[in-house]
Structure 1
Amino acid sequence: MDSVKRRLIIISVTVSLILLVIKFYSFYITRSNAILTDALESIVNVVASCFALYSVYLSSLPKDENHPYGHGKIEFFSAGIEGTLIILAGIFIIYQSVYSLIYPQQLAFLPYGMALVGFSGVVNGVLGYVLQIKGRELNSLTLEADGRHIFTDAISSFVLIFGIGIIYFTGMFFLDSVFSILFAGYIIYNGYFLVRRSVAGLMDETNPEAINTTVKVLNDSRKENWIDIHNMRVQQYGGDSHIDLHLTLPYYFDLIQVHDEVHRVEEVLEENLPGNTEVFVHADPCLPESCCHYCQVRDCPVRKYPKSKKIRWNAENMSKNQKHYHELTFLPESNQES
């Protein structure tokens, strides 16, 4: 998996370098600020892809004494660096565009410039799409962020061609700076999105997608002895996950039975979630006066009350630090599974 990530990032760096040369040549012959906008974003592509290559290498390193949870969070940092560079490029583009509005200059060879930018856009579009798809498959925020950035660059290139076409056919050269400012705003917006996601990951902000996936896996493999799961936490470290949860089991289980059920929960999550998953399970004994009402254990030898309810396991109640007998979201007995 790590070798696939590295190979994709190396391809991204190589393609970005080639397109960088093409775009700056296009700016050199046309003197268009709009094309300069595209060229400057390509510099960001190269720098960000190089950093992404390093982050993929670092995130693949095993755990050590100084990093007991591994090095996966570097991927969040990488995405934040890329977003920051995008924002800085957008700010510089706005500055250059305002300067050109005040001190305009003649544009030339616009059809050649459009052709070169169009070629760059097609290549970036394909590369960005592939990186985003592979990033989701490999659960790599670095690949997905790099792909999103490159795909955004492709979209802006095609919009840029449209704008340059209007300038060429109308002769309204001031529109070059106007379009550049609009592109810069779009670039800054995408940079903010990446920075926001990066900060969320570094701060261990709750990821609804990761939690809902974990809940679905547990529901699909739910066993009758798993009376209750609560106080569940899902943390992400790049493409890897760390999960803590409390598992309520029948109080009469001996230590070996408890160990086996805990191991089953760990296996279910480790085998069905993407990336490497580390699971810590804290076992709790059931409380007959409260748990019997929703306990799913058939023919329980110590049951004190009949089963009358079944609790839906969802992200909200499984994340709370309390057993589910406090919950009010119950299914009536007629809707229960036998």
Structure 2
Amino acid sequence: MLFKDKKISVAFWSIVAAVFLTSIKLIVGVATNSLGILAEALHSALDFVAAVITFFAVYISNKPPDKDHHFGHGKIENFSALIETGILLITCGWIILEALERFNHPVNVEINIFSFLVIIVAIIVDYERSKALLKVAKETNSQALEADALHFSTDILSSIVVLLGLVFVAINFPIADVIAGLIVAIIIIWISVQLGKKTIRSLLDHEPKNERILITNFLQKEFSDLELKRLRLRESGPQIQGDLIIAVPNSYSIIESHIVANNIEHKIKQIIDNIDILIYVTPKNESELSQDTYNQYYTILKSTTVPGIQLMEIHDIIIYKFTEKIFADLHILLESKLLLKRAHEVTETYEKLVKSKLPEIESIHIHIEPFEDQQRKFGKSDDYEVRAIFHKICNRYIIIKKIKDFSVISNKNQIIIQSTIIMDSKIDLNTAHRITELVESDLLKEIPNIQRITIHTEPEL
């Protein structure tokens, strides 16, 4: 073998084949004045250019990563395939222009035994080269070799069309030569567009769907206790590159997590041998409820009713998991004329009804609000009352431990509130954010002319 690397070797012999085919087609095409054969000669000449590009692209892509190309040189194959697509389309342009010229100004086409012989030889050579190129392209996942194989495959189709055109010319139907040239151009355009789309997707880092399906199915089957956070994949020449983030149970040690990551990487490379993938490990956020569970709880809390009592509204519902237990906070709006004793009985009944449907809920913290049609506006002289309302609202939430500071800025009946509140350090950020949103919402209901509320949260030390 002239070259040790089979990719480089098969690319080199494609250059030799392209030179041979271009030469014999050009000689016979000029001698017979056949547009079909001349179109084939130009097609083979451009195949030669494409084969040279492929040869150097494959040679460069085989180089290992260096200080200037951390991810290797694989993209050169995608780029060369795009250039080859452009070359094919240029070929089509020339063939179509020449065909239109010959429609308007017919030329005499001389047919002899060499006309048929050169096309038959071309079909045989093209078949052998396309088969060899495609075999190595599949083995090495080389897009450049695949593009080169496509060039030789189109030659087979177009040569068959030209051969049929020559037969019709031989039986006194000369326009068939021009028609054959146009059909060749149409075939090349269609195949070029398909190759171009695939190449552009690779250059733009379009995700390879088959590989994603293989990886996700493998993780679901072999590592169902882990959570797939993110999977990103892209093609770079013959290689698939990607990164994967998985969440492991909090009980896993650093060493255990590292072993799991190595195991996953090893098995993925067994499934996809041309992949370079980086595995990141992160702990599961086990304090969060799944979205489906949260939605189920929310629907039940919102829709539960107490017989004989009209609950004006249930709102500001928050559900959270804390120390492996589930809690709920919510506000119930009742008739303002209802006695406190009766209102308390209503909330107790409501809680029992909810727990009969959701026994896993540890407790439900309920804030009772009177339903009123009118709300008053607060001004500068009401700063003390604003502060009192804010403290009252914060006391509704058991995970708010302390109000560290609080300030009120009043100007022309517009109020700006700034505060720092201390929360339980064990809650997650999502829960802390929901609580601050509820505090802000409650405050706006009681003081509608607040212009801005800024609440900063800190963990309890």
Shorter-chain TM range is 0.7 to 0.9
Deviations 1:45-92 (A, max 9, x none): 100010001111111111122211111011110110111000000001
1:172 CA drift (Å): 1.9
Which residue pairs with 1:325 in the alignment?
A: none
Which residue pairs with 2:280 in the alignment?
A: 281
Q: Is 1:195 the counterpart of 2:196 in the alignment?
A: yes
Give the counterpart letter for 1:185 in structure 2: I
Change (3 A) 1:139 1:24: same
Over the aligned positions, Cα root-mean-square deviation in angstroms equals 2.3
Deviations 1:94-143 (A, max 9, x none): 11111122222111134321121111111101211221122112111111
Task: Confirm or deny: 8 A CA contact 2:245 2:280 kept in the other structure.
Answer: yes
Which residue pairs with 2:159 in the alignment?
A: 157
Task: Confirm or deny: 8 A CA contact 1:239 1:276 kept in the other structure.
Answer: no
Which residue pairs with 1:261 in the alignment?
A: 260
Uncovered stretches (5+) of structure 2, i.e. residues with no partner? 294-322, 327-461
Alignment of 1:37-186 (within 5 A): 37-169=39-171, 171-186=172-187
Q: TM-score, normalised by structure 2?
A: 0.60
Which residue pairs with 1:246 in the alignment?
A: 245
Give the counterpart letter for 1:280 in structure 2: I
Distance in 2 separating the partners of 1:144 and 1:304: 58
Distance in 2 separating the partners of 1:216 and 1:118: 48
Distance in 2 separating the partners of 1:265 and 1:2: 33
Task: Confirm or deny: 8 A CA contact 1:93 1:180 kept in the other structure.
Answer: yes
Task: Confirm or deny: 8 A CA contact 2:111 2:169 kept in the other structure.
Answer: no
1:166 CA drift (Å): 1.4
- Percentage identity across paired residues of the two chains: 23
> Helix, strand or coil: the match of 1:236?
strand
Uncovered stretches (5+) of structure 1, i.e. residues with no partner? 295-301, 306-338
Change (3 A) 1:9 1:105: same
Which residue pairs with 2:270 in the alignment?
A: 271
Change (3 A) 1:285 1:43: same
> Helix, strand or coil: the match of 2:68?
coil
> Helix, strand or coil: the match of 1:61?
coil
Structure 1 window deviating more from structure 2 (273-282 vs 84-93): it is 273-282
Give the counterpart letter for 1:91 in structure 2: G
1:238 CA drift (Å): 0.8
Greater strand proportion: 2
Structure 1 window deviating more from structure 2 (151-160 vs 86-95): it is 151-160
Distance in 1 separating the partners of 2:192 and 2:186: 10
Task: Confirm or deny: 8 A CA contact 1:270 1:279 kept in the other structure.
Answer: no
> Helix, strand or coil: the match of 2:97?
helix
* Greater relative contact order structure (CA < 8 Å, 6+ sep): 1
Structure 1 window deviating more from structure 2 (68-77 vs 176-185): it is 176-185
Which residue pairs with 1:316 in the alignment?
A: none
Distance in 2 separating the partners of 1:215 and 1:110: 60
Change (3 A) 1:5 1:99: same
> Helix, strand or coil: the match of 1:10?
helix
Deviations 1:211-237 (A, max 9, x none): 2233344456x135x422132111111
Distance in 2 separating the partners of 1:216 and 1:147: 32
Change (3 A) 1:265 1:83: same
1:175 CA drift (Å): 2.2
Deviations 1:11-43 (A, max 9, x none): 111111111111111202211001111111101
> Helix, strand or coil: the match of 2:233?
strand
Distance in 1 separating the partners of 2:100 and 2:287: 73
Distance in 2 separating the partners of 1:304 and 1:59: 56
Task: Confirm or deny: 8 A CA contact 1:266 1:281 kept in the other structure.
Answer: no
> Helix, strand or coil: the match of 2:207?
coil
Greater helix proportion: 1
> Helix, strand or coil: the match of 2:82?
helix
Which residue pairs with 2:231 in the alignment?
A: 232
Alignment length, in residue pairs?
A: 294
